[in-house]
């Protein structure tokens, strides 16, 4: 607990990147909230697919809903909404004590809608109303089509967690959508002090793809100093991207435009470091935690990352603002060795959508089998 208290003192909240009925019922979630300083939870189709397909905690509810003639999609939604509601209720004390800054539980719109602006709006409104908890956040991907939906939902007063951000430019676009939404509300005399949003910047997937390109395509073709430069880039792109995005955050949430909103009670849209589990054996399990500690940030960690950080993580204030020059140098060196980061991040967005669609399909199939 002391380590997470210190993390909070340094300005960063940690959220759990996992939600299941099991951790709600077995005391695990309650323990993390009360004894380990947990400040929020995120979920996604893959997490729910794993939860529903293992164990029997959902069986009775599925049987009842199927017996009432509910369709597969409706059964899935009933299961998920119930878990979200229970988690929201358990985190409500955190939400109240933090004056609505933390204590949130995130629920994703269907991944099928990643390219559908109007349908995303409809589903976001419906899910937010269905959960009916002030500390629910609706997750919408930061795609080109998602950004207008994000702005509109924030304008309507719905808390939004923007997902699938891989580039600094995409981060900046969703931060501006947040500011636009607040300004629209303020101009109409609507309150803006209760609107909350996080911008989820995905990390480990960036390094997985860039490292693969470096090892398979770039380094074998190079010699001399360029080969050394390329070798030094391994495992460095994600953290560099996050540090540069944080610099944009500091710029966007300061100055005259922001001060006008802050005077009306607006809170900043916090950068959230997502996809923080280590996917490369050679790297430390806390590599996406230790260098990215800073004020007004969130880090979502799966259970294994939390345990690793508790056991041997190092904790220093404001590491996200350290070695920023090195971060810009990484971007320059990527260009020098022939890696186009724009193309990389576009590929990651498309793959990210698919990585949510696949488990969502499996999830619906699992529910359908359970219903039968």
Run of H or E residues at 241: helix 237-252
Task: Evaluate if residue 281 carries a pLDDT over 90.
Answer: no
Of the pLDDT bands very low, low, confident and very high (cuts 50, 70, 90), residue 16 is: very high
- 251 flagged as catalytic: no
Residue from 47, 77, 44, 50 nearest 62 by CA: 77
Task: Evaluate if residue 39 carries a pLDDT over 80.
Answer: yes
Q: What's the whole-number average pLDDT of the chain?
A: 94
Stretch 286-314: mean pLDDT, rounded?
A: 95
Run of H or E residues at 122: helix 117-131
Of the pLDDT bands very low, low, confident and very high (cuts 50, 70, 90), residue 364 is: confident
Q: Is 222 helix (H, G, I), strand (E, B) or coil?
A: coil
Please pick, among 64, 121, 129, 139, the residue that the annotation labels catalytic: 139
Residue 1's pLDDT is 61
Residue 59's pLDDT is 86
Stretch 202-229: mean pLDDT, rounded?
A: 94
Residue entry with tokens 């899910």:
127
Strand partners for 162: 140, 199
Cα distance between residue 311 and residue 296, in whole Å: 24
Residue 116: burial class (beta carbons within 10 Å; 0-12, 13-18, 19+) = middle
Residue 55's pLDDT is 72
Residue 365's pLDDT is 85
Cα distance between residue 292 and residue 329, in whole Å: 17
Of the pLDDT bands very low, low, confident and very high (cuts 50, 70, 90), residue 53 is: confident
Of the pLDDT bands very low, low, confident and very high (cuts 50, 70, 90), residue 343 is: very high
Structure tokens of 236? Answer: 């460095």
Stretch 299-310: mean pLDDT, rounded?
A: 93
- The answer to whether residues 104 and 40 touch, using CB atoms and an 8 Å cutoff, is yes
Q: 168-193: per-residue pLDDT in tens?
A: 999 999 999 999 999 999 999 999 99
Q: Is 313 helix (H, G, I), strand (E, B) or coil?
A: coil
Cα distance between residue 331 and residue 98, in whole Å: 37
The size of the chain, in residues, is 372
Residue 355's pLDDT is 85
Residue 45's pLDDT is 79
Cα distance between residue 344 and residue 250, in whole Å: 25
Run of H or E residues at 161: strand 160-165
Q: 77-133: per-residue pLDDT in tens?
A: 999 999 999 999 999 999 999 999 999 999 999 989 999 999 999 999 999 999 999
Cα–Cα distances in Å, from 94 out to 139, 289, 323?
20, 22, 33
Cα distance between residue 192 and residue 264, in whole Å: 7
Structure tokens of 93? Answer: 């004390």
Residue 298's pLDDT is 98
Stretch 223-229: mean pLDDT, rounded?
A: 92
Task: Evaluate if residue 372 carries a pLDDT over 80.
Answer: no
Cα distance between residue 3 and residue 297, in whole Å: 16
Stretch 271-278: mean pLDDT, rounded?
A: 93
Structure tokens of 269? Answer: 């849209």
Taking 3-state DSSP, the helix, strand and coil percentages for the chain, each rounded to the nearest 5, stand at 60, 10, 30
CB count within 10 Å of CB 30 equals 14
Q: 233-255: per-residue pLDDT in tens?
A: 999 999 999 999 999 999 999 99
∠ CA 120-205-312, nearest 5°, is 120
Structure tokens of 117? Answer: 């602006």
Q: What is the pTM of this model?
A: 0.95
């Amino acid at each position: 607990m002391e380590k997470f208290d210190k993390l909070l003192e340094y300005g960063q909240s940690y959220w759990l990147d996992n939600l299941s009925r099991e951790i709600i019922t077995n005391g695990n979630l309650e323990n993390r909230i009360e004894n380990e300083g947990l400040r929020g939870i995120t979920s996604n189709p893959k997490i729910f697919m794993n939860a529903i397909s293992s164990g029997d905690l959902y069986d009775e509810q599925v049987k009842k809903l199927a017996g009432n003639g509910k369709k597969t999609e409706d059964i899935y939604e009933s299961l998920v909404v119930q878990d979200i509601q229970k988690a929201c209720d358990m985190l409500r004390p955190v939400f109240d004590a933090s004056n609505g800054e933390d204590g949130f539980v995130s629920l994703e719109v269907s991944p099928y809608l990643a390219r559908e602006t109007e349908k995303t709006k409809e589903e976001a409104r419906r899910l937010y109303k269905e959960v009916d908890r002030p500390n629910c956040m609706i997750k919408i991907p930061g795609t080109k089509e998602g950004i207008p939906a994000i702005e509109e939902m924030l304008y309507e007063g719905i808390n939004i967690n923007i997902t699938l951000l891989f580039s600094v430019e995409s981060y900046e676009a969703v931060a501006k959508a947040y500011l636009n939404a607040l300004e629209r509300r303020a101009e109409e005399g609507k309150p803006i002090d209760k609107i909350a949003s996080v911008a989820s910047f995905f990390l480990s997937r960036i390094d997985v793809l860039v490292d693969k390109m470096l090892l398979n395509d770039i380094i074998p073709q190079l010699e001399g100093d360029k080969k050394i430069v390329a070798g030094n880039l391994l495992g460095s792109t994600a953290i560099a991207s996050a540090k540069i995005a944080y610099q944009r955050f500091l710029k966007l949430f300061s100055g005259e435009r922001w001060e006008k909103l802050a005077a009306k009670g607006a809170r900043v849209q916090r950068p959230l470091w997502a996809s923080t589990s280590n996917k490369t054996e050679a790297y430390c399990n806390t590599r996406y935690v230790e260098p990215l500690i800073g004020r007004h940030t969130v880090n979502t960690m799966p259970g294994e990352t939390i345990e690793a950080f508790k056991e041997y993580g190092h904790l220093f204030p404001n590491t996200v603002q350290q070695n920023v020059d090195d971060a810009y140098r990484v971007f320059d060196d990527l260009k020098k060795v022939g890696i186009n980061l724009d193309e990389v991040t576009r590929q990651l967005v498309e793959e990210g959508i698919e990585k949510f669609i696949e488990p969502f399909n499996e999830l619906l199939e699992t529910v359908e089998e359970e219903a039968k």
